[in-house]
């Protein structure tokens, strides 16, 4: 199980120099992973950022790992993944800048420091960093000094390094990115003791990986600004019983609701295009779910072990390959529900055939005429 341990922010300056904040700190251990966030100016030298090609080089031991940088606005996020060596210590980073296939130059170097970290400590740290750095909030906390101290105390309780006078402290940067909720409620979120309704701040567009993993929150209110929910965002939450994903969300990542054992219903928006691997695996009480026609990419394992699934509907014009309903192992689907799936399938006549896997038990509930609803539209039933 993996999650962001630290976000290292690099500021790329117009004079082709590079500065680092967030203390260039990342932990090494069984669950190591992190992100490098690069913030660029409007121009580099006499070139706009859009005219330049940028490559980040990270030196580990005796070789460089390079990442081609693609910016959204002025920001680029680069994942630090398992291809990075296990070496502990300082590792040099710089950016090479090219335009029209010519190298314009390289930035100054900064260091990434990798610290040893055991598995237990990694588990302690990873969630609160996610929660504290939910991306792109338009509302920031507005608190007095006592609120800051309350938050600092909560982080210390979770064994986070918050020494203000050391260059490796994440304290200041976490404070700046805390959602606009009270210090008391934030402290409860990070120590898993908040059990009631939690409203994710307006303006949030992206719920990060493991943001509410193993939380005890019973209800989430999601903002209309939301566009993506990343891997394991709400997984292993035993208190959730329902989730209404707002219109505008286009992406739900892998295992977002995995092992939410008391989840009964989930409503997905008509804007959704991608459902990741194992999204609903082991949601044993999930009864009601819709998969909108807008979904064009999904994983065949997404419904595995959803034994109680009964009210499953597909949006009219559904056109995604490899939906495997049989893996739910549910015996509750009526013939009327199954025929509803077949009627909803897009007509693929003249295109390559897609497969809808409903399993032998469900196939045996259908007449040949009912099966022909799908096969006449160039769908295979399995």
- Express each pLDDT in 149-205 by its tens digit: 555 555 554 444 444 443 223 333 333 334 444 555 655 665 566 788 887 766 677
pLDDT for 22: 52
Domain membership of residue 69 (yes or no) is yes
Q: Is 285 exposed, middle or buried (0-12, 13-18, 19+ CB in 10 A)?
A: middle
pLDDT of residue 1: 29
Mean local confidence (pLDDT), 97-116: 74
Using the predicted structure, report yes or no on whether residue 29 has a pLDDT greater than 60. Answer: no
Instruction: State residue 172's pLDDT score.
Output: 36
Indicate whether 237 pLDDT > 80: yes
Please indicate, yes or no, whether residues 203 and 342 belong to a single structural domain of this protein.
yes
- Neighbouring CB atoms inside 10 A of 349's CB total 9
> Who's near 145: CB < 8 A, 6+ residues apart?
none
What per-residue confidence (pLDDT) applies to 69? 85
DSSP letter (8 states) at residue 74: T
What is the percent of the chain where pLDDT is above 90?
36
Six token digits for residue 303:
């419904």
Residue 346 CA: distances (Å) to CA of 285, 354, 376: 29, 10, 11
Q: The CATH number of the domain where 48 resides is what?
A: 2.60.40.3350
pLDDT at 195: 80
Non-local (6+) Cβ contacts of 22 within 8 A are 6, 7, 8, 9, 170, 173
Residues 234 and 364 in one domain: yes
Confidence of residue 221 (pLDDT cuts 50, 70, 90): confident
Domain end, chosen from 66, 87, 116, is at: 116
**94 & 131 share domain:** no
Q: Per this entry, what is the length of the chain?
A: 382
Query: What average pLDDT does this structure show over 351-361?
Result: 95
- Among 72, 99, 116, residue at a domain's last position: 116
Mean pLDDT to the nearest integer, 49-69: 76
243 shares a domain with 281 = yes
Q: Is 185 a member of any domain?
A: no
Q: Which residue has the higher pLDDT, 209 or 289?
A: 289
Question: Mean pLDDT across the chain, nearest whole number?
Answer: 75
In the structure encoding, which two tokens stand for residue 115, read together?
């610290």
Residue at 160 is within a domain: yes
In a domain, 189, yes or no: no
Note whether 45 and 139 are same-domain residues. no
Average pLDDT over residues 367-381: 96
Query: Do 257 and 288 have their domain in common?
Result: yes
In a domain, 283, yes or no: yes
Q: Domain end: 136, 154, 179, which one?
A: 179
- Quick one: 104 and 253 in the same domain? no
In order of 5, 19, 95, 261, 308, the CA distances from 286 in angstroms are: 32, 48, 48, 8, 6
Shared domain check, 238 and 172: no
- Least confident segment among 55-59, 126-130, 345-349: 126-130
In three-state secondary structure terms, 260 is coil
- pLDDT in the model for residue 21: 65
Which is more confidently placed, 135 or 57?
57
pLDDT of residue 348: 96
Whether residue 244 is found in the same domain as residue 284: yes
Residues 201 and 307 in one domain: yes
Tell me the average pLDDT across 32-58. Answer: 80
The reply to whether 2 falls in a domain is no
User: Which region holds residue 192: left if phi is over 0, alpha if psi is between -120 and 50, else beta?
Assistant: left
Q: How confident is the model at residue 309 (pLDDT cuts 50, 70, 90)?
A: very high
Does 144 map to a domain? yes
Q: Number of structural domains, the chain?
A: 3
In the predicted structure, residue 143 carries a pLDDT above the cut 70: no
For residues 127 and 96, membership in a common domain is answered with: no
Q: Residue 145: pLDDT above 50?
A: no
Q: Which residue has the higher pLDDT, 46 or 302?
A: 302
Which CATH number is 247's domain given? 3.80.10.10
What's the domain range around 258? 195-381
pTM: 0.56
Residue 333: per-residue pLDDT: 96
How far CA 104 is from CA of 46, 48, 93, in Å, comes to: 10, 13, 17
184 occurs within a structural domain: no
Those residues whose C-beta lies under 8 Å from the C-beta of residue 230, and which sit 6 or more positions away, are 206, 207, 208, 209, 211, 251, 253, 256
Does position 251 have pLDDT exceeding 70, yes or no? Answer: yes
Range of 115-129, 206-220, 249-263 with top mean pLDDT? 249-263
Is the pLDDT at 71 greater than 90? The verdict is no
Answer yes or no: do 202 and 341 share one domain.
Answer: yes
């Amino acid at each position: 199980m993996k999650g962001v341990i630290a976000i290292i922010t690099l500021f790329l300056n117009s004079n082709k120099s590079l500065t680092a904040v967030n203390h260039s700190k990342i932990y090494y251990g069984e669950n190591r992973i992190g992100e490098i966030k690069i913030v660029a100016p409007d121009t580099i030298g006499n070139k706009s950022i859009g005219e330049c090609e940028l490559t980040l080089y990270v030196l580990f031991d005796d070789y460089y790992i390079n990442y081609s940088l693609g910016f959204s606005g002025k920001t680029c996020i680069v994942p630090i993944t398992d291809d990075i060596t296990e070496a502990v210590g300082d590792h040099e980073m710089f950016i090479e800048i090219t335009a029209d296939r010519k190298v314009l130059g390289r930035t100054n170097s900064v260091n990434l420091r990798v610290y040893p970290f055991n598995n237990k400590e990694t588990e302690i740290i990873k969630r609160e960093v996610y929660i504290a750095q939910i991306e792109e909030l338009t509302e920031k906390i507005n608190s007095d000094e006592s609120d800051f101290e309350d938050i600092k105390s909560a982080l210390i309780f979770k064994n986070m390094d918050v020494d203000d006078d050391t260059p490796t402290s994440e304290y200041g940067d976490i404070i700046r990115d805390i959602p606009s909720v009270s210090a008391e409620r934030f402290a409860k979120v990070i120590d898993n003791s908040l059990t009631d309704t939690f409203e994710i701040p307006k303006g949030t567009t992206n719920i990060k990986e493991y943001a509410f993993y193993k939380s005890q929150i019973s209800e989430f209110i999601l903002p209309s600004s939301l566009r993506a929910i990343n891997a394991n965002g709400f997984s292993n939450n035993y208190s959730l019983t329902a989730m209404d994903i707002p219109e505008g969300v286009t992406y739900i990542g892998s295992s977002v609701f995995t092992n939410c054992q008391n989840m009964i219903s989930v409503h997905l928006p008509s804007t959704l295009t991608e459902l990741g691997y194992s999204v609903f695996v082991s949601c044993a009480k999930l009864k009601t779910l819709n998969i909108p026609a807008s979904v064009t990419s999904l994983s065949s394992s997404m419904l595995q072990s959803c034994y109680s699934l009964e009210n499953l509907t597909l949006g009219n014009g559904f056109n995604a390959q490899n939906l495997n309903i049989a893996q739910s192992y549910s015996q509750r689907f009526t013939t009327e529900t199954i025929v509803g799936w077949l009627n909803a399938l897009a007509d693929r006549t003249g295109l390559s055939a897609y497969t809808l896997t409903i399993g032998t038990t469900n196939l045996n509930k259908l007449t040949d005429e009912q099966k022909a609803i799908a096969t006449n539209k160039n769908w295979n039933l399995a």
